[in-house]
C-alpha cells in the first residue's frame, strides 16, 4: 500500500520552480498545467543530446531516465511496471484499451457508462454500436450528480461486458465514486475501464483501492508533464486476454514466417517510435508529484477550488454550475453578461488563463442540465489565495 502521510507543501518553493507563475495567473490546469523547471530542463537536455549525438544514440544514453518514467508511474498508481504502457496522449491510451476489449463484443452486449462521459469515449461507443450492434446504457446520476451506485447495481446482468466511467468530467468539479464502481464491477466480474484524464495529478489514484482493470490518463494536465504524453494501466490478470487492435514490432515479435508473439507486459499496447524527451519529462513530472504526495496535492487543490467557488457565488451575475458530493479543482460557471469565449479572451488580455467547455464535450450532462457553454477555471496546488481573489476581482470588472 502507499504511504498516505500528508506532507506540507512549500508553495513559495513550488512557485519558484514554476516559471509561468511569475508571468501569468494560470487557471487552465484542466487544459494543461504549468511545467515545473525540472521537467523543462529534462526535456531540453534530451533534445540537446539528440542534436549532438543523434536520436537513437541519445535514446540509448538516456535508457535509465526513460525507464524511470515506468518506475514513477508504478509508484504513483500502486501497480507493477509490467502493467504500464507509455502513450502519445490519454485518448490514444483509452482507445487502445477500449478497442482491444470491444473486438470481442457481439450484438446485444451492453456497455455501461455515465452521464458525464467525455465525447471521445462516447463517440467510440457509438461507432461500436453502429458496427456491432452493442447497446450503450447510461447510469442515472444521483441527486447530487455523481453515478448512482444503487442504480448501477440494478443494471448489472449477463449482457454487460464493460463498465467505462470518466472519473472527473471535463465540464466541472464532480468526482465520481470510482472505488464503489470498482466494487460493483469486481463483484460481477465485469471489466472496468477508468478515464482518469482529469483526475491524475489532482485526486489520489491507487488502482488497488479503485479496483479498475484499465486506466488511461494524460501527462499534460494536473501531472504537469509535456504535451503529447500519456499512459495506460492494464491489470495483469486481464492483460493476458487482450490483443491490441494495432500491433507493430514493438508490441509483438515476428517469430516465424506466419506467426507473431505478443509481449507479455502492457507495453504490447505501445508502438516503436517514442517522443523520448517528452516521456522522460513525464517521468520527472510524476516524480515531482510523488515527492509532494498525492493526498497533500488533493487537499491543497480542493481548498483553493472551494474558495474560488465561494468567491464566485458572491458575485452578481455569476452562476456556479459544479455538481457532486465531492468536488475537485475544476470550477465551472457562467454569466448572462458576456459569452464564455469572449470572457475567456478578455481575461487573457489581463494575464489570466481560463477555458471554456461546451455541450459537444459532455453532451449528456450538459443537455440534461440545459447548458450550452461554460467557463472553466481550474486551479492547481501552485495557485494562491491571492490569485483566487485577483480572478474574482477581474470577473467583477468584466461583468458589472
What is the SS3 assignment for the chain? Answer: CCCCCCCCCCHHHHHHCCHHHHCCEECECCCCCCCCHHHHHHHHHHHHHHHHHCHHHHHHHCHHHHHHHHHHHHHHHCCCHHHEEEECCHHHHHHHHHHHHHCCCCCCCEEEEECCCCHHHHHHHHHHHHHHCCEEEEECECCCCCECHHHHHHHCCCCEEEEEEECCCCCCCECCCHHHHHHHHHHCCCCEEEECCCCCCCCCCCHHHHCCCEEEEECCCCCCCCCCCEEEEECHHHHCCCCCCCCCCCCEEEEECCEEEECCCHHHHCCCCCCHHHHHHHHHHHHHHHHHCHHHHHHHHHHHHHHHHHHHHCCCCCEECCCCCCECCEEEEECCCCCHHHHHHHHHHCCEECEEEECCCCHHHHHHCCCCEEEEEECCCCCCHHHHHHHHHHHHHHHC
Between strands 110-114 and 135-139, the pairing is parallel
Domain edges within the chain = 11-34+294-399, 39-291
Q: Which residue has the cell 475544476?
A: 330
Cα–Cα distances (Å) from 129 to 109, 132, 159, 233, in that order, read 9, 5, 14, 25
* Count of all residues that appear for the chain in the document: 400
Question: End-to-end CA distance of the chain, in Å?
Answer: 51
Q: Could you count the other beta carbons within 10 Å of the beta carbon of residue 206?
A: 16
Question: What angle separates helix 385-399 from helix 340-349, to the nearest 10 degrees?
Answer: 120
Give the three cell numbers for residue 37. Answer: 523547471
Give the three cell numbers for residue 259. Answer: 506467426
Give the three cell numbers for residue 288. Answer: 515531482
Q: Could you count the other beta carbons within 10 Å of the beta carbon of residue 251?
A: 22
Q: Does domain 11-34+294-399 have CATH number 3.40.50.300?
A: no
Cα–Cα distances (Å) from 321 to 93, 126, 145, 148, in that order, read 30, 28, 11, 19
Answer whether 162's CB lies under 8 Å from 185's CB: no
Cα–Cα distance, 109 to 372 (Å, whole number): 32
Q: Does domain 39-291 have CATH number 2.130.10.10?
A: no
pLDDT for the residue 9:
95
Cα–Cα distance, 212 to 210 (Å, whole number): 6
The ranges of the chain with pLDDT < 50 are 1, 4
Cα–Cα distance, 246 to 185 (Å, whole number): 27
345: Cα within 13 Å, side-chain hemisphere: 5
Cα–Cα distance, 87 to 67 (Å, whole number): 14
**Maximum Cα–Cα distance across the chain:** 73
Do 39-291 and 11-34+294-399 have the same topology in CATH?
A: no
pLDDT for the residue 1:
46
**pLDDT, averaged across the chain:** 96
CA 101 to the chain's CA centroid: 20
Amino acid at each position: 500500500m502507499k504511504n498516505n502521510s500528508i506532507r506540507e507543501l512549500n508553495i513559495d518553493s513550488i512557485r519558484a520552480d514554476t516559471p509561468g507563475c511569475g508571468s501569468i495567473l494560470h487557471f487552465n490546469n484542466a487544459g494543461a498545467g504549468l511545467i515545473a523547471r525540472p521537467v523543462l530542463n529534462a526535456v531540453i537536455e534530451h533534445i540537446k543530446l539528440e542534436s549532438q549525438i543523434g536520436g537513437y544514440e541519445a535514446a540509448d544514453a538516456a535508457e535509465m531516465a526513460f525507464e524511470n518514467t515506468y518506475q514513477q508511474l508504478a509508484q504513483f498508481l500502486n501497480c507493477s511496471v509490467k502493467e504500464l504502457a507509455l502513450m502519445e496522449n490519454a485518448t490514444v491510451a483509452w482507445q487502445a484499451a477500449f478497442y482491444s476489449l470491444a473486438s470481442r463484443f457481439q450484438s446485444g452486449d451492453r456497455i455501461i457508462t455515465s452521464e458525464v462521459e467525455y465525447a471521445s469515449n462516447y463517440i467510440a461507443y457509438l461507432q461500436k454500436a453502429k458496427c456491432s450492434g452493442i447497446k450503450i446504457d447510461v447510469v442515472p446520476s444521483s441527486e447530487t450528480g455523481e453515478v448512482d451506485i444503487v442504480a448501477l447495481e440494478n443494471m448489472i446482468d449477463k449482457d454487460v461486458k464493460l463498465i467505462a466511467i470518466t472519473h472527473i468530467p471535463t465540464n466541472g468539479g464532480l468526482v465520481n465514486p470510482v472505488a464503489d464502481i470498482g466494487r460493483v464491477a469486481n463483484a460481477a466480474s465485469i471489466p472496468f475501464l477508468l478515464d482518469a484524464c482529469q483526475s491524475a495529478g489532482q485526486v489520489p489514484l491507487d488502482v488497488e483501492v479503485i479496483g479498475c482493470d484499465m486506466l488511461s490518463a494524460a501527462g499534460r494536465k494536473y501531472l504537469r508533464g509535456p504535451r503529447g504524453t500519456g499512459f495506460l494501466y492494464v491489470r495483469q490478470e486481464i492483460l493476458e486476454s487482450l490483443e491490441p487492435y494495432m500491433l507493430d514490432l514493438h508490441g509483438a515479435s515476428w517469430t516465424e514466417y506466419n506467426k507473431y508473439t505478443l509481449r507479455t507486459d502492457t507495453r504490447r499496447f505501445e508502438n516503436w517510435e517514442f517522443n523520448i524527451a517528452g516521456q522522460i519529462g513525464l517521468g520527472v513530472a510524476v516524480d515531482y508529484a510523488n515527492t509532494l504526495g498525492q493526498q497533500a496535492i488533493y487537499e491543497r487543490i480542493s481548498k483553493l477550488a472551494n474558495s474560488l467557488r465561494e468567491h464566485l457565488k458572491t458575485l452578481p451575475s455569476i452562476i456556479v454550475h459544479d455538481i457532486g458530493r465531492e468536488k475537485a479543482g475544476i470550477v465551472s460557471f457562467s454569466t448572462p453578461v458576456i459569452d464564455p469565449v469572449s470572457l475567456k479572451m478578455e481575461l487573457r488580455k489581463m494575464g489570466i488563463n481560463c477555458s471554456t467547455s461546451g455541450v459537444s464535450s459532455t453532451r449528456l450532462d450538459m443537455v440534461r442540465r440545459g447548458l450550452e457553454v461554460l467557463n472553466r477555471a481550474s486551479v492547481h496546488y501552485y495557485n494562491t489565495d491571492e490569485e483566487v481573489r485577483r480572478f474574482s476581482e477581474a470577473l467583477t470588472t468584466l461583468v458589472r
